Amino acid sequence: MSAITVEGSQQFTGRLRVPGDKSISHRALMMAALAHRPSAIRGLSDGEDVAHTRRAVEALGAQVKVHSAEDVTVTGGLLGATGPIYLGNSGTGIRLLAGLTAGFDFTTTLDGDTSIRRRPMDRIIEPLSAMGASVRGSGDSGSLAPLIVEGRPLKGIEYTLPVASAQVKSAVLLAALQAEGPTTVHEPAITRTHTEEMLADAGVRVEQQGRSTTVWPGEVEALDIDVAGDPSQAAFWLVGACVAPESDLTVENVYLGPARGGFVDVLGRMGADISVDSESGDIRARTSKLRATRVTSQELPGCIDEVPILAVAAAVAEGVTVFEGIAELRVKESDRVAAIVEMLDVLGAESEIDGEVLAVGGVERLNGGTVDSHGDHRMAMAAAIAGAAGSSSMTVEGFEAVATSYPGFARDLSDSTGWTP
């Protein structure tokens, strides 16, 4: 395990670009793997999660020309893999690939690291089985990875998601491409819409009505896509600029589509000096006096991955910030509820859990100390930003987890603050 120590009292300044959006990157590779003509994908996330998906589609039979980590050409056509497919730390990778492969005439074994092997897979096994798929999990419950997906003829279903999850919605909608008849998914709250939008762009018939999405089976056309910057990564720098002294930072070319910019609204309500240029996708934030807010369970899916860094903002806001409907955070790359509480404790901010509600009391200035990432990339980055903005140095143990989604994070931290690793 590697640790870094970040000096406190840094200012966040300048302009930077974050890796391509991770959710879009996974989907672009998977859809390109279905298309028979070559797809050009530029601006892919350079993190390990997306590299695993790239190798997965290759193992399944797609031809991938890697021009650079961010720039690939994929010629699709799935034949089936000869061995198990390893998706590392990636929930999106394993769940979406289970849906993608469920209707093909071959068997696929999907596996990942120890974190993936702990995360719930019954949420995809249930709807995919209702479509006629054969997805067998492991463990006593039969609902953990590794998953064995034996291809079967599928039928379209109408399915109401028990939890607001774009991964589950997407697994079902990707399976729907091979099914007989249309498939409709109803969501309890709006989640990211990449799958349905990208399928529609690729010529698939998709209908959207409120929180319901219907997909008809069909061919996926080749893609030609520039992946915009990942808002979930941008959030780290923007919160850093809000909470650190004398800061003024712009993240360029950020994806601004639905259900991803919730953190900007939350920060806006907290009184942050943050502005979005809807033409360029640039987002600028400056040092701000923050006040507490309430993040409702309806809006949480729109900022689900940003809760660790929003908790850092809450830790310096005046008053008590409340995050409602946090249950899903317990089944992310780590138990993020526990990890956030542990981080806030080190930072000197008080927090309390009451059922599905996390309350965070703000303090004047954040303490330094030592925070364990628990192998979770977003916890590692949130702690590093809190450390740079805080009053003294912060050691982040397990910092190498950032490679999951943002291998260049330490370089960008150094470029935007002047801190030297």
Q: What is the largest CA-CA distance in the chain?
A: 60
Among 282, 299, 306, 328, which residue sits at the site for ligand S3P (rule: CB under 6 A)?
328
- In angstroms, what CA-CA distances link 236 with 175, 195, 231, 308? 34, 25, 9, 9
Nearest residue to ligand S3P on Cβ basis: 23
Which residues ranging from 54 to 113 are in contact with ligand S3P (CB under 6 A)?
91-92
Cβ count near 191 (within 10 Å):
24
**Token pair 């640790």 in the structure block, residue:** 3
Helices 48-59 and 22-34, interaxial angle, to 10°? Answer: 10
> Phi/psi class of residue 363: alpha, beta or left (left: φ > 0; alpha: ψ in -120 to 50)?
beta
Smallest gap from residue 162 Cβ to ligand S3P (A): 12
Cα 135–139–140 angle (5° rounding)? 110
Least separation in angstroms between CB 306 and ligand S3P:
10
* CB nearer to ligand S3P: pick between 127 and 368: 127
Min. distance of Cβ 91 from ligand S3P in angstroms? Answer: 6
Q: Give me the least distance between CB of 376 and ligand S3P, in Å please.
A: 11
Q: Cβ-count burial of 223 within 10 angstroms (0-12 exposed, 13-18 middle, 19+ buried)?
A: buried
Closest CA to 201 of 182, 220, 184: 220
CB nearer ligand S3P, residue 305 or residue 412:
305
305 is catalytic: yes
Binding mask 365-384 for ligand S3P (x = CB under 6 A): --------------------
CA angle 350–355–358, rounded 5-degree value = 30
**What SS3 class is residue 246?**
coil
In this complex, which beta carbon is closest to ligand S3P, that of residue 182 or of residue 188?
Answer: 188
146-185 positions binding ligand S3P, by CB under 6 A: 165-167, 170
Q: How far apart are CA 240 and CA 283, in angstroms?
A: 13
Distance CA 198, CA 224 (A): 11
Sole residue written with tokens 């650190």? 244
State in angstroms the smallest separation of the CB of 164 from ligand S3P.
Answer: 7
Work out which of 11, 13, 23, 143 binds ligand S3P, going by CB under 6 A.
23
User: Could you count the other beta carbons within 10 Å of the beta carbon of residue 29?
Assistant: 28
CB of 217: closest distance to ligand S3P in angstroms? Answer: 21
| Residue 89 or 288 having the CB closest to ligand S3P | 89
Give the number of residues in contact with ligand S3P, rule: CB under 6 A. Answer: 11
Q: Annotated catalytic residue: which of 305, 372, 376, 412?
A: 305
Alpha-carbon distances, residue 235 vs 116, 155, 306, 323 (angstroms): 24, 40, 7, 17
Binding mask 180-219 for ligand S3P (x = CB under 6 A): ------------x---------------------------
Q: Does 52 bind ligand S3P (CB under 6 A)?
A: no
Here the tokens at position 222 are 């080749």
In the complex, what is the shortest distance from the CB of residue 301 to ligand S3P, in angstroms, rounded to a whole number?
A: 7
Q: In the structure encoding, which two tokens stand for residue 51, read together?
A: 């590299």
Closer residue to ligand S3P, CB minimum distance, 92 or 213 = 92
Residue with smaller CB distance to ligand S3P, 167 or 253 = 167
Return d(Cα 241, Cα 338) in angstroms, integer. 25
Binder among 304, 311, 341, 388 for ligand S3P (CB under 6 A): 304
> Which listed residue (48, 196, 305, 372) binds ligand S3P by CB under 6 A?
305
The nearer residue to ligand S3P, 166 or 382, going by C-beta atoms, is 166
d(CA 184, CA 246): 49
**Site residues for ligand S3P per CB under 6 A:** 23, 91-92, 165-167, 170, 192, 304-305, 328
Catalytic residues: 305
